[in-house]
Amino acid sequence: MTARPRAADVMNRAGASRPGRGHPTLDAEVEHVRREARHRFARFVLDSANPGSYFRNQARRPLDRGVFEEAGGLGLMRFSLPVEAGGEGRDKLAWGVVVEEIARLSRDPGFAVLLDISVEITELIISSGTPELIERYVPDLLAGRRFAVQGAYENRDPYDFTTTARLEDGVWVLNGAKRFLAGAAFADLFVLFVRDEASNDMLAFVVEKDDPGVAPVPMDTMGLHTMGLGQVLLHDVRLPPWRLLWRADALSELNTYARIRRTMSACGVLGALDAVVDQCVDALAGRRRGGRPVLDHTNVERSVGEMRMLLQSARASVYRALDGTRSADRDPYFDELATVAKHQAAESALHVGRLVMGLQGGEAYMATFPWERFMRDILGLVSGQGSQETLLIQLGQRSIVGREGRQVREDAAERSVAGLADSWWAMHAVAASGGADGFAGPVAEVVSAAGLDPVGQASREEAAALLGRAHALWAAVCAGAAPDALPQGPAGPAEGPFARHATRAWALLACAVAERTGLLARLLAPRTVKEAAGELPVVLAEGLLEVLVDAGVVRRDGEGRYAVDEGLERVLIGGPRSAAFAARLRRAVTGGARLMSPAGVLGRESAPGCGDEAAALVDALVHSLLGRLEGLPGVLERPGAAVGCAAGDGGLTAAALSRHVPGVPVLGVEEADRLALVWLPVAGLPGEELRRAVVSAAAALVSGGWVVLPCPLPPKRPLGAAVVRLGLAVAGGAVLADGEVERLLRAAGLSHVRTAWEDPALGIRLVAARRP
């Protein structure tokens, strides 16, 4: 009889896929490094760094320099440095775990931070690539014979620094002061960021403490008494040119340094936090209150549990930031994960400190116990690498700028495809010029805006031949009979306006085919031609991809894989926006075909804002506008409320309204009165017909009801605007004069008339008006 599986066996499928081992986790990797750190460095911390810590702190005496030399002898300073520079080449995740473990074992919370500062400064010197700097300083830094710190802080913007450098007869002269340097009291080297008097750029120099004019000054601080905090004063300090660490873009290098220091600072806080939680519980273990062990009291258990939760939440944030340092896609100048980790670790430590103070009672305020020192020291670690408020401000700025940048990329990608559609229409206008009955005016306007007039017979025939092949391919794909290979594209000259528009028109056709067949959607992740092809013939897929690469819609990486422009992701992942994107491509293809045929206008189902485009607009109405159209939510909730749809697109818009406004019947405007909302697309309606439709809509509304009119929003580029007018003419309508829609609404007795929403990428604006 087969044994009944346990729930854990069923739910932990990752473990089942790796019999006997389970899925390798980040925690397992961290624990492996932590054990290594304890094996290699715990004895040094416990036997060499910790003794005398209490009295050093009381006397405000910095750590002994010999401790750092001993650390160098153990390989601690080499652990994460490049192999070619004499280091072990371990990554920042491993180094961060070492920093955390040393901070946990150390009686001096700042000791691990000081170790990391010197290591990071060594990395800065190595990254300079200057042989004189590397040869002079790196060997001693690795061995712990020298100790280096960084100085940038002046409590002002970098380009407003008062510490300056000027080049004088081939020698750099530095003047000013740097405040709040960790380790300034015993450091041999300072990497100082100063302002160039001539260019106002930021420069970075390596300054030795024995350089004439350099004066380290100790600082009296609330905590971190053993970290040797201090200032460095500079008076006419003269340095040879090779001491210049970075002449260009030193601010970016400072940001890179701050990025990793922020993560490592969080590691130091995390280690100190872990230690104080354990010490607090150990101190409570022997106490009794009310005849019971203190640790058996529910409120104590709850406080200990909260401390553990804060520790683990900080740990999760810090480890994720450390793991992120191994990503090739990491921002070199600002690390959001590091910023979050630093803030989370600091907030957790402060909260734990308050809990410890409450649990330890009077002892928490006595200097002879570790709790009071933890609170003072942790406040000093919190201020390093950005205050809590600064971190939140930076995260907010990053979020806002990131959102704006993403919006710009997405809009630009859609505009790029719209530009291809402009050329598609331009080639149809060339082919139809002189024979497009009923569309002669808009056709001529497009030809002129495209710079293609006058149109000769040869150009007309060449455009017609190209478009004939294009429409034949589209028809075959729609019929499920895609050819084995891409037909011949533009065959004329490679230069000039005609050639440019012909190439871009062919790219539009490739984009439409790729969208319809799912090829574009499969490129949301990089794929080879064969992987991307799906059910398409591979040769055809390869031809389409090459056309799209040339058009900038798709990119090809160094390994021969293809991926779509990331700005197009929002129109390819599904949902209303994807349906609208596909509808615009189909409208361009079918509209061009109708322009070349005598079959008349397309009708409302292909008009902007109708058909499959409607879902995106109704989604915007519900999720962006509903609260801005005064009183509409309440009117929709009244008994008997209904929505009127005057799209005339075969029920496609009505179906979208029903899905997005469930529970409210959607009716034709002519079928009902007392409507809460009327949806009235403008495109495809001639002027007089639109006027009558507006009057009917106004009459059908209840008091407080709204009418919403999706209106074409022509782009600012002349060719794009001309193409919109031609497309509307093919659909049976026209572009109205500015303000005409608003005038019609007011003439019908409606108020609160305004453009309530617009999206240039969709090419639609929503005009709304309310019945008083």
The predicted-structure confidence for 393-434, as pLDDT tens digits, reads as follows 888 988 888 888 888 999 889 999 999 999 999 999 999 887
Instruction: Compare 577 and 109 and report the one with higher pLDDT.
Output: 577
- Alpha helices (H) along 433-496: 440-449, 457-478
Residue spans of the domains in the chain: they are 25-146, 148-248, 261-386, 410-595, 604-770
148-248 maps to CATH 3.40.50.2300: no
Instruction: Compare 171 and 3 and report the one with higher pLDDT.
Output: 171
Quote the pLDDT of residue 438: 72
Q: What share of the chain is helix, strand, coil (3-state, %, to 5)?
A: 55, 15, 30
What confidence tens digit (pLDDT) does each residue in 508-555 have?
A: 999 999 999 999 999 999 999 999 999 999 999 999 999 999 999 999
Alpha carbon distance 212, 121 (integer Å): 22
- % of the chain beyond a pLDDT of 70: 94
In terms of phi and psi (left: phi > 0; alpha: psi -120 to 50; beta: otherwise), the region of 124 is alpha
Alpha carbon distance 190, 188 (integer Å): 7
**Given the structure tokens 């601690």, which residue do they identify?**
76
Instruction: Compare 707 and 263 and report the one with higher pLDDT.
Output: 707
Alpha carbon 89 to chain centroid, angstroms: 30
Q: Of 19-23, 220-224, 284-288, where does mean pLDDT reach its minimum? A: 19-23
Kindly state the helix (H) or strand (E) to which residue 306 belongs, with its residue range. Answer: helix 298-324
pLDDT tier for residue 372 given thresholds of 50, 70 and 90? confident
What confidence tens digit (pLDDT) does each residue in 111-149 have?
A: 898 999 899 899 989 988 889 999 999 999 999 999 999
Alpha carbon distance 86, 552 (integer Å): 45
Is residue 196 within 8 A of residue 202, CB to CB? The reply is yes
Kindly state the helix (H) or strand (E) to which residue 324 belongs, with its residue range. Answer: helix 298-324
Q: What average pLDDT does range 646-658 have in this prediction?
A: 90
Assign domain 25-146 to a CATH class: mainly alpha
pLDDT value at 385 more than 70: no
Quote the pLDDT of residue 630: 93
* Averaged pLDDT score across all residues of the chain: 88
Q: Of 57-66, 210-219, 298-307, 668-677, where does mean pLDDT reach its minimum? A: 668-677
Alpha carbon distance 617, 665 (integer Å): 18
What confidence tens digit (pLDDT) does each residue in 7-23 have?
A: 655 555 554 444 445 56
- % of the chain beyond a pLDDT of 90: 57
DSSP for 234-267? EEEEEE-GGGEEESS-HHHHHHHHHHHHHHHHHH
Q: What average pLDDT does range 665-676 have in this prediction?
A: 83
| Fold annotation for 261-386 | Butyryl-CoA Dehydrogenase, subunit A; domain 3 (1.20.140)
Assign domain 604-770 to a CATH class: alpha beta
Q: State the DSSP code for 527.
A: B
**Given the structure tokens 């074409």, which residue do they identify?**
712
pLDDT value at 664 more than 80: yes
Quote the pLDDT of residue 600: 52
What confidence tens digit (pLDDT) does each residue in 724-734 have?
A: 988 888 877 77
pLDDT value at 2 more than 90: no
Alpha carbon distance 712, 609 (integer Å): 7
Q: State the DSSP code for 45.
A: I
Q: Which is it for strands 292-293 and 189-196: parallel, antiparallel or unpaired?
A: unpaired
Residue 693 is encoded by which pair of tokens? Answer: 């439709």
Strands (E), 74-188: 148-151, 164-168, 171-181
